[in-house]
């Protein structure tokens, strides 16, 4: 890992660009200065989870680009694209305060001009969990992320572990398509009571927020049971579901324990596992996950 050598820009110096040409020109100039380029792709409505990615990028790289683009192609027809939170001015201010160099905020027509007709599909990894619940979601994510990576051509790009399947898919896409650049995955940021930060948490009423804690609780339960030596993975899955189902206002999509690479459900404990959950709480569809590691010498 290289440590940032360029001084972070003063807040007044952050550039906000809307066109691919402007973004490429600024990034080419940074590259010509020998700076290491980072990209943090976001859909805006930045919370402390996003900002921890941005801060890490600012600590680790010389020139940090943040993209803000609510990507229509990753929302299904009955999902919350129109209502997805947008807070552009506050996002810019937060980026400035972190020392971001460039915000790339394209219009939909810049990313998807009328003639647009090329999409990225990943077989297998995209078909389970979120992919099964949200058909077409990962096709939209992979397509926009590939475009952003091609536009910015970062040395390093940053993704959050909260979207575990998303970062796994992006890693696979980059490997399959020989994309240069490193993907770094940063830990989930949680409230003190365990709720994973999400832009959709703002849809929750006070009661729904309490109900939403059942997601992180069921993941912790799975981790406790498996690290304490439980070998019946199916039983642990049933216990996760029971905890969620007894919580009023929670409609479960899935709660499972999977292999961290293939995301296939596992039938017996293994050294590395991932517990994953998705549920609707009020009008917010929330996801969360927790890596589980068993010591090799047990």
Of the listed 47, 50, 137, 293, which one is catalytic? 50
Q: How far is the CB of 54 from ligand PAF (least distance, A)?
A: 12
Q: In angstroms, what is the minimal distance from the CB of 119 to ligand PAF?
A: 14
Q: Nearer Cβ to ligand PAF, position 43 or 276? A: 43
Query: Which residue has 């993941």 as its token pair?
Result: 219
Min dist CB 145 to ligand PAF, Å, is 5
Distance of alpha carbon 245 from alpha carbon 154, whole angstroms: 43
d(CA 142, CA 126): 10
What letter would DSSP give residue 101? S
Bridge-based pairing of strands 156-160 and 37-42 is parallel
The closest of 170, 194, 196 to 181, measured between CA atoms, is 170
Of the candidates 194, 224, 187, which has an alpha carbon nearest to the alpha carbon of residue 209?
194
- H/E segment holding residue 151: helix 137-152
Residue-wise burial string across 113-126, b where 16 or more C-beta atoms lie within 10 A, e elsewhere: eeeeeeebebeebb
Residues in the chain, total: 298
* Longest pairwise C-alpha distance within the chain: 58
Among residues 145 and 221, whose Cβ is nearest to ligand PAF? 145
Our CB check for ligand PAF shows the closer of 98 and 221 to be: 98
**Shortest distance in whole angstroms from residue 218 CB to ligand PAF:** 23
Q: Is 50 a catalytic residue?
A: yes
* C-alpha distances in Å from residue 6, one per residue of 28, 134, 297: 15, 41, 45
Q: Interface with ligand PAF by CB under 6 A: which residues?
A: 41-43, 71, 74, 141, 144-145, 163, 166
In terms of CB distance, is 103 or 236 closer to ligand PAF?
Answer: 103
* Bridge partner residues of 276 (DSSP): 256, 289
Task: Provide, rounded to whole angstroms, the least separation between the CB of residue 166 and ligand PAF.
Answer: 6
Query: Of 166 and 216, which has the nearer Cβ to ligand PAF?
Result: 166
Residue 213 CA to residue 160 CA, distance in Å, equals 19
Tokens representing 167 are 């970062």
Q: How far is CA 178 from CA 124, 207, 297, in A?
A: 19, 47, 37
Closest distance of CB 137 from ligand PAF, Å: 9
**3-state SS assignment for residue 224:** helix
Question: By C-beta, is 91 or 211 nearer to ligand PAF?
Answer: 91
User: Could you give the residue numbers annotated as active site?
Assistant: 50
């Amino acid at each position: 890992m290289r440590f940032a050598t360029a001084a972070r820009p003063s807040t007044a110096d952050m550039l906000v660009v809307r066109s691919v040409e402007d973004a490429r020109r600024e990034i080419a100039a940074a590259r010509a200065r020998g700076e290491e380029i980072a990209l943090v792709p976001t859909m805006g409505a930045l919370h402390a989870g996003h900002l921890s990615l941005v801060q890490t990028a600012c600590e680790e790289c010389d020139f940090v680009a943040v993209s803000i683009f609510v990507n229509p192609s990753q929302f299904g027809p009955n999902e919350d694209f129109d209502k997805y939170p947008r807070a552009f001015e506050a996002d810019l201010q937060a980026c400035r305060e972190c020392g971001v160099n460039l915000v790339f905020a394209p219009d939909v027509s810049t990313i998807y001009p009328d003639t647009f007709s090329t999409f990225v599909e990943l077989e297998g990894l995209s078909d389970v969990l979120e992919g099964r619940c949200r058909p077409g979601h990962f096709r939209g994510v992979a397509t926009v992320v590939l475009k952003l990576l091609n536009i910015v051509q970062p040395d390093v790009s940053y993704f959050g572990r909260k979207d575990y399947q998303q970062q796994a898919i992006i890693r696979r896409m980059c490997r399959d398509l020989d994309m240069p650049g490193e993907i770094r995955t940063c830990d989930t940021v949680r409230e003190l009571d365990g709720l994973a930060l999400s832009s959709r948490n703002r849809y929750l009423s006070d009661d729904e927020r309490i109900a939403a804690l059942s997601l992180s609780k069921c993941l912790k339960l799975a981790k406790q049971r498996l690290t304490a030596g439980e070998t019946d993975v199916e039983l642990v899955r049933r216990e996760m579901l029971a905890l969620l189902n007894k919580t009023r206002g929670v409609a479960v999509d899935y709660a499972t324990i999977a292999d961290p690479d293939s995301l296939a459900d596992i039938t017996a404990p293994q050294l590395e596992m991932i517990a994953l959950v998705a549920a609707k709480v009020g009008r917010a569809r929330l996801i969360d996950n927790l890596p589980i590691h068993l010591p090799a010498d047990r």
